[in-house]
C-alpha cells in the first residue's frame, strides 16, 4: 500500500509539472467563467426586458407594483434563467473536467513508457499492479482537487450573482467526479493498446449514453448520460440519495472492471 | 549460488526479423564483475530487459539469485542503471534520490544520511538542490548511478554506464566498481569501452546477433597467445631440433630467447628443453588484449 501511495504522490507531482495539463485546467476554468458571465448577462437582459415591457405597457407601474400574474411570470423567467446558467456552468465545467481527465489518465502510463522512466521505477521492488494502481490513484487525487475547485467556483459565482442553487446542484460535483473517473479508467485501459490521443477520443465517444438500464451492455459498457446534470437541472429533476448511491455504485463497478482489465493487459505488456 | 543464471533464453520482437536473443546460456557467479560485450544490435540491452522482466522471453528462462526474474521481491537485491537514462526531471537531485530510496525500502531515518553519502561519492553535493532537468549528461549519469546504489544492492546491472562520463568520471566510476567488488558485490556491465571492461572485469561474454560467441576470463579467451622462453645457452643438437620447427630464436648476452607463436609449439619446445637439460631462466606469456579478442571473435559487418 505504501508503494502505491509513493507512486501516486510522484504521479501528482509529475502532473503538476506538466504545462499542458495546467494550461488545460486553466483553459477549462476560464471557459467556465466566460460562459457563466455570458449567461449572467443574458439573465440581466431578461430582467431588463421584462421591466421594459411593464414600463411600456404602463409607465406609471414599476416592478414592485406588478400584479400577481406578472410577478409569477417574472419569478418563473428568473428561475428559468438561473437554472440555465447553473446547468450551463456545470456543462462547461464537466466538459473541461472530462478533457483534463482524459489527458491525465491516457498519458499516465503511456508517457512513462515513452520516456523510459518506467524502467527505472520497475527495477525497484515495485510490482506492475502497484505501479498502475498508484498512477490511477494519483489521477484520482488531481481530479478530486479539480472537482473541489469547480464546486467552490459555483458557490462563489452563485453568491455574487444572487442565484438560488438548483436542488440537483448539490450532487453535481460528485456525479461529475464519478463520470471523470469512469472516463479516466477507460482511457487508461485503452492507452495500453492504442496511442493516448486515440484512446482519449474512443473513451469519450464510447459512453455517451448509447445504452440504458434494461440493456445488459449498460453494466459492461460505460454510460455517462445519468452523470450529466445539465439535463437534470434543466428538467428540474430531483435526485435522491438512492439515485446517487446507485449511480456511485455503477461508477465504482465500472472503474473496478476497467482497472482489472488494465492490470491484465499491463502485466504482459512489453515496457520498452 | 549464482547471481544471474540464463538458460536457453530467446527473444524475438517480430517473427519477420532476426531474433534479438538466441538460446543464450550464461551464469554469473556472486562476487564477480562480468563484462557483457557485443557490437550494436547484438542483443545486450534486450538481455538486460529480459533480466529485469521489462519484456517477456519467447523461449528459455532467467533467474536472479536462483529466483525467477518475474518476482518483484528479488529487486530488493538489485540495482540498475539503464542506457540513455531518463529521470523524473521535475525533482531536485536530493528529492529524486529520496523518492527512489523510499521505493527501495530504505528506512526513513536512514534516508538522509544514505542520500548525502551517495551525493558525496558521486560528486553531486553542489547539484543536490538543483532541478534534474538542469543537469548535464554526465551529472544525469552520476545521479543514475547513485540511484542504483541507494539500497546497497548485491547485484548491479549497468548498461553502458560510462557513455556520458569524462575521463575523470570514468576513473572514479572504475574505482567505485573495484570497491564494490572488494565488498563482494556482483556487477553485470554492458559496455562498448573495451579498455575499461578489461581493467575491471573478471570474466566477459561476447555476443553477436543475439548469440553468445565466447565467454571466459581474458586468459581463457586469449587462446592464441605466444610464449617466450628465456634460457641460458643452447646446445647444438637442440639448435638443430629447433631449426626444424616454426619457433624464432634470438641470442643476446649469453641468453637465448625462443618465441613460440602458439600452444602446441610451446609444448614441443618445453619438452625439448627438458630433454636437453636446459635451464629455463623465465617464461613470458603474451596475452591478447580484449580488443584483439573482441575483433577476432565477431564477424565484421558487410561493407556498404
- Asked if pLDDT for residue B241 goes beyond 90, the answer is no
Cell numbers at residue A257, please? Answer: 472492471
The CATH code of domain B2-220 reads 3.40.50.300
The pLDDT, as a whole number, for residue A208 is 65
Question: What is the arithmetic mean of pLDDT over B236-252?
Answer: 86
Q: What angle do CA B115, B121, B124 make, to 5 degrees?
A: 70
Find the range with the poorest average confidence among A126-140, A215-229, B183-197, B279-293: A215-229
Q: How many CB atoms lie within 10 A of CB A185?
A: 27
Domain encompassing residue A230: 2-268
Query: In chain B, what residues touch A3 (CB-CB under 8 Å)?
Result: 103
Q: Are the C-beta atoms of residues B185 and B31 closer than 8 Å to each other?
A: yes
Contact B82 A268 (CB under 8 A): no
Highest mean pLDDT among A248-262, B221-235, B244-258: A248-262
| Banded model confidence at residue B190, pLDDT cuts 50, 70, 90 | very high
Looking at beta carbons, which residues of chain A come within 8 Å of B80? 119-120, 123
Residue B123, number of CB atoms within 10 A of its CB:
14
A195-253: pLDDT as tens digits: 999 999 988 887 665 555 566 666 666 677 777 766 766 666 667 788 888 889 989 98
**What per-residue confidence (pLDDT) applies to A31?**
75
B105 CB neighbours in chain A (<8 A) are 125
Closest CA–CA distance from residue A94 to any residue of chain B (Å): 29
Question: To the nearest whole number, what is the mean pLDDT of chain A?
Answer: 80
pLDDT for the residue A55: 53
* Confidence at residue B158, expressed as pLDDT on a 0 to 100 scale: 94
What's the number of domains chain A is made of? 1
Q: How many Å lie between the alpha carbon of A18 and the closest alpha carbon of chain B?
A: 9
Give the mean model confidence (pLDDT) for residues A45-68: 59
Q: Is residue A142 over pLDDT 60?
A: yes
Question: Strand, helix or coil at B37?
Answer: strand
- Letter string b/e over residues A231-254, b meaning 16 or more CB atoms within 10 A of that residue's CB: ebbbeeeebeeeeeeebbebbeeb
pLDDT of residue B188: 96
User: Is A271 in contact with A118 (CB distance < 8 Å)?
Assistant: yes
Chain A partners of B101 at a C-beta cutoff of 8 Å? none
Say whether B90 and A17 touch across the interface (CB within 8 A): yes
- pLDDT tens for A146-188 read 888 878 877 777 777 776 666 667 788 888 899 899 999 999 9
Interface residue ranges in chain A relative to chain B, Cβ cutoff 8 Å: 3, 6, 10, 13-14, 17, 115-117, 119-127, 268, 270-272
At residue B197, the pLDDT reads 85
Given this model, what pLDDT does residue A249 score? 92
pLDDT value of position A233: 64
What pLDDT, on a 0 to 100 scale, did the predictor assign at position A96? Answer: 83
How far off is chain A from B95, nearest CA to CA, in Å? Answer: 11
Q: What pLDDT is attached to residue B288? A: 76
CB-CB under 8 Å, A270 with B103: no
Residues of B whose CB is below 8 A from A6: 99, 102-103
Of chain A, the percentage scoring pLDDT greater than 70 comes to 74
Q: Where in chain B is the domain with CATH 3.40.50.300?
A: 2-220
Per-residue confidence (pLDDT) for residue A109, from 0 to 100: 93
Task: Report pTM.
Answer: 0.82
Closest CA of chain A from B36, distance in Å: 19
Q: In the prediction, which pLDDT does A26 show?
A: 80
Residues on B contacting A at a C-beta cutoff of 8 Å: 49, 52-56, 72-73, 75-76, 78-80, 82, 84-88, 90-91, 99-100, 102-105, 144, 147
- Do the chains contact at B105 and A125, CB–CB below 8 Å? yes
Fold observed for domain B226-286: Alpha-Beta Plaits (3.30.70)
Domain with CATH 3.30.70.790 in chain B: 226-286
Output phi, psi for A134, to 5 deg: -60, -45
pLDDT confidence bin for B302, thresholds 50/70/90: low
Top pLDDT among B171 and B80 is at B80
Query: Given strand B280-286, what is the order of strands in its sheet?
Result: B248-252, B255-260, B226-232, B280-286
Mean of the per-residue pLDDT values for chain B?
Answer: 89
pLDDT band at residue A57 under the 50/70/90 scheme? low
More confident of the two residues B220 and A231: B220
| Predicted pLDDT of residue A157 | 74
Residue A54, pLDDT > 60, answer no
| Whether pLDDT at B14 is above 90 | no
The answer to whether B212 and B21 are in contact (CB under 8 A) is no
Angle at which helix A172-191 crosses helix A128-160, to 10 degrees, equals 150
From chain A, pick out residues whose CB is under 8 angstroms from the CB of B47.
none
Q: Which residue has the higher pLDDT, B89 or A68?
A: B89
- Tell me which of A152-161, B113-122, B148-157 is least confident: A152-161
Amino acid at each position: 500500500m505504501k508503494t502505491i501511495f509513493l507512486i501516486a504522490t510522484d504521479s501528482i507531482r509529475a502532473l503538476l509539472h506538466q504545462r499542458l495539463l495546467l494550461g488545460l485546467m486553466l483553459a477549462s476554468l476560464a471557459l467556465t467563467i466566460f460562459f457563466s458571465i455570458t449567461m449572467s448577462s443574458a439573465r440581466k437582459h431578461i430582467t431588463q426586458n421584462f421591466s421594459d415591457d411593464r414600463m411600456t405597457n404602463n409607465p406609471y407601474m414599476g416592478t414592485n407594483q406588478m400584479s400577481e400574474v406578472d410577478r409569477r411570470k417574472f419569478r418563473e423567467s428568473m428561475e428559468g434563467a438561473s437554472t440555465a446558467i447553473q446547468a450551463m456552468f456545470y456543462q462547461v465545467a464537466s466538459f473541461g473536467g472530462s478533457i483534463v481527465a482524459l489527458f491525465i489518465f491516457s498519458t499516465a502510463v503511456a508517457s512513462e513508457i515513452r520516456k523510459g522512466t518506467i524502467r527505472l521505477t520497475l527495477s525497484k521492488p515495485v510490482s506492475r499492479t502497484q505501479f498502475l494502481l498508484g498512477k490511477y490513484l494519483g489521477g484520482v487525487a488531481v481530479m478530486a482537487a479539480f472537482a473541489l475547485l469547480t464546486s467552490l467556483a459555483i458557490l462563489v459565482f452563485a453568491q455574487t450573482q444572487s442565484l438560488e442553487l438548483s436542488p440537483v446542484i448539490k450532487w453535481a460535483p460528485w456525479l461529475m467526479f464519478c463520470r471523470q473517473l469512469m472516463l479516466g479508467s477507460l482511457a487508461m485501459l485503452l492507452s495500453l493498446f492504442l496511442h493516448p490521443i486515440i484512446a482519449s477520443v474512443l473513451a469519450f465517444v464510447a459512453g455517451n449514453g448509447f445504452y440504458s438500464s434494461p440493456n445488459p451492455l449498460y453494466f459492461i459498457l460505460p454510460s455517462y448520460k445519468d452523470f450529466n446534470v445539465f439535463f437534470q437541472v434543466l428538467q428540474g429533476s430531483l435526485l435522491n440519495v438512492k439515485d446517487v448511491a446507485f449511480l456511485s455504485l455503477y461508477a465504482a463497478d465500472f472503474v473496478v472492471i476497467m482497472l482489472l482489465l488494465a492490470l491484465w493487459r499491463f502485466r504482459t505488456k512489453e515496457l520498452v | 549460488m549464482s547471481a544471474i543464471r540464463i538458460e536457453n533464453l530467446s527473444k524475438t520482437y517480430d517473427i519477420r526479423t532476426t531474433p534479438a536473443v538466441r538460446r543464450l546460456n550464461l551464469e554469473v557467479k556472486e562476487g564477480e564483475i562480468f563484462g557483457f560485450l557485443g557490437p550494436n544490435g547484438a542483443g545486450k540491452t534486450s538481455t538486460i530487459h529480459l533480466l529485469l522482466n521489462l519484456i517477456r522471453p519467447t523461449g528459455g528462462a532467467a533467474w536472479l539469485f536462483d529466483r525467477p526474474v518475474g518476482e518483484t521481491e528479488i529487486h530488493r537485491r538489485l540495482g540498475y542503471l539503464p542506457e540513455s537514462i531518463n529521470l523524473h526531471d521535475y525533482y531536485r537531485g536530493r528529492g529524486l534520490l529520496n523518492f527512489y530510496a523510499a521505493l527501495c525500502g530504505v528506512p526513513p531515518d536512514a534516508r538522509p544520511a544514505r542520500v548525502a553519502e551517495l551525493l558525496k561519492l558521486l560528486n553531486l553535493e553542489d547539484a543536490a538542490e538543483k532541478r534534474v532537468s538542469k543537469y548535464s549528461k554526465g551529472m544525469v549519469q552520476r545521479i543514475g548511478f547513485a540511484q542504483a546504489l541507494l539500497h546497497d544492492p548485491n547485484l548491479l546491472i549497468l548498461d553502458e554506464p560510462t557513455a556520458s562520463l569524462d575521463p575523470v568520471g570514468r576513473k572514479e566510476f572504475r574505482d567505485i566498481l573495484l570497491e564494490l567488488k572488494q565488498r563482494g558485490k556482483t556487477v553485470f556491465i554492458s559496455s562498448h569501452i573495451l579498455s575499461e571492461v578489461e581493467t575491471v572485469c573478471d570474466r566477459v561474454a561476447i555476443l553477436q546477433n543475439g548469440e553468445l560467441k565466447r565467454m571466459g576470463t581474458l586468459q581463457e579467451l586469449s587462446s592464441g597467445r605466444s610464449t617466450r622462453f628465456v634460457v641460458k645457452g643452447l646446445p647444438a643438437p637442440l639448435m638443430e631440433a629447433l631449426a626444424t620447427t616454426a619457433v624464432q630464436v634470438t641470442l643476446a648476452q649469453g641468453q637465448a630467447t625462443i618465441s613460440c607463436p602458439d600452444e602446441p609449439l610451446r609444448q614441443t619446445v618445453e619438452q625439448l628443453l627438458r630433454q636437453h637439460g636446459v635451464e629455463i631462466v623465465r617464461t613470458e606469456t603474451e596475452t591478447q588484449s580484449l580488443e584483439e579478442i573482441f575483433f577476432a571473435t565477431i564477424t565484421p559487418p558487410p561493407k556498404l
